[in-house]
Structure 1
Amino acid sequence: MRFLLIPLSALAISVPAVAQQQGQPELGERTQSPEALFREMNTETPAEEMARLVTAAEAYPLGTIENPVRVGGPEGERAYLARVRCADGSPIRVGTRGEAGMGGFGSITNAYAVSCGGTTRRIVFDMYHEEHAESRPPAGFTLAQ
């Protein structure tokens, strides 16, 4: 029995080594040059990337998932909603807040149900833009100063 155990142990130890030799690079072995890796990376600066994303988002109405209202945190969402008015200038009714999914700027967004008269729409926010102060209203609304 001991004579059978020794060859089986040796086989069990050698199987991972054989599997690694079959076309797989060794641990730490370079699979491509640093130059090739850099070519695959995004070469835009963060400002250039944001400018490109803003330009793409502007093809959609403000307050949609493709062009969310950019604000700084939940406080920014509330401050913006406090300024939104119905088209006739009357105050809006703010409903529930929920997650809206991945927005046009690549981050998770939130949406609020907003009512004017008998119509309810949703306004989508991206709260990861501390540096941005939105001055435009979503379509069909106005902004108080």
Structure 2
Amino acid sequence: MSQRLASIALIALTAISVSACATTSEPPVAAASGDAELERLMTAMMARRSPLADDDLASRIEAARAHPLGSFENPVRASGPEGQREYLRRLRCTNGRIPQFERIGNFGRGVFGSVVDGYSVDCGEAGPGEAEVFMDMYHNGYRETDPVPGFAINNGGRGA
């Protein structure tokens, strides 16, 4: 799918989400043109899934492992915005405390075919200091158990 079509899909998804709050109960239309690819993309994103086919996603996940977890090239996969926040609350600074974090925006389409969010993560005087962590929330049901570099993670007895 072209970058232009992906941009149109994100704009359409945003417009539908905003307009759904202020319109009648009629269901939103995926695209006036009825474009099947756009509809497929929007359906996947609304279900918090990557728009990629399973085998394509698996190969991209494997390729992303060549980059540090939390980088734009290997964003932390999470299950929705609550999964992003849950992951960040499990991170630990070198002093054992939970870092402060704030969403700084979306950074466009990432390696897994969906929108990547960036977070500022700050340990203050403790290590690793301040870091930028990239996350992809379109992995419904997925819970990352590895920490991003420089941090430890509290998995509550689950995972690594």
Q: State the TM-score, normalized to the length of structure 2.
A: 0.59
Residue of structure 2 in register with 1:86 after alignment: 93
Residue of structure 2 in register with 1:58 after alignment: 65
User: Which consecutive residues of structure 2, in runs of 5 or more, have no partner in the other structure?
Assistant: 1-51
| Residue-pair matches, total | 101
1:87, 1:101 → 2: CA distance? 31
User: 1:70 corresponds to which letter in structure 2?
Assistant: R
Contact 1:65 1:102 in 2 (8 A): no
Task: Pick closer, same or farther for the CA change 1:52–1:96 going to 2, 3 Å.
Answer: closer
Residue of structure 2 in register with 1:141 after alignment: 151
Q: State the TM-score, normalized to the length of structure 1.
A: 0.64
Deviations 1:89-108 (A, max 9, x none): 22201134311222221211
User: 1:82 corresponds to which letter in structure 2?
Assistant: R
SS of 2:116's equivalent? strand
Deviation at 1:87?
A: 2.9
User: 1:49 corresponds to which letter in structure 2?
Assistant: D
Contact 2:103 2:117 in 1 (8 A): no
The structure 1 segments of at least 4 consecutive aligned residues displaced by more than 6 Å after TM superposition are: none
SS of 1:104's equivalent? coil
1:81, 1:75 → 2: CA distance? 10
1:53, 1:87 → 2: CA distance? 31
Are positions 1:104 and 2:108 aligned together?
Answer: no
Contact 2:71 2:133 in 1 (8 A): yes
More strand by share: 1
Residue of structure 1 in register with 2:40 after alignment: none
User: Which consecutive residues of structure 1, in runs of 5 or more, have no partner in the other structure?
Assistant: 1-44
User: 1:53 corresponds to which letter in structure 2?
Assistant: R
Computing the radius of gyration over CA atoms, which structure comes out larger, 1 or 2?
1
Deviations 1:48-105 (A, max 9, x none): 1111011110000000111001001111111111111113322201134311222221
1:120, 1:62 → 2: CA distance? 16
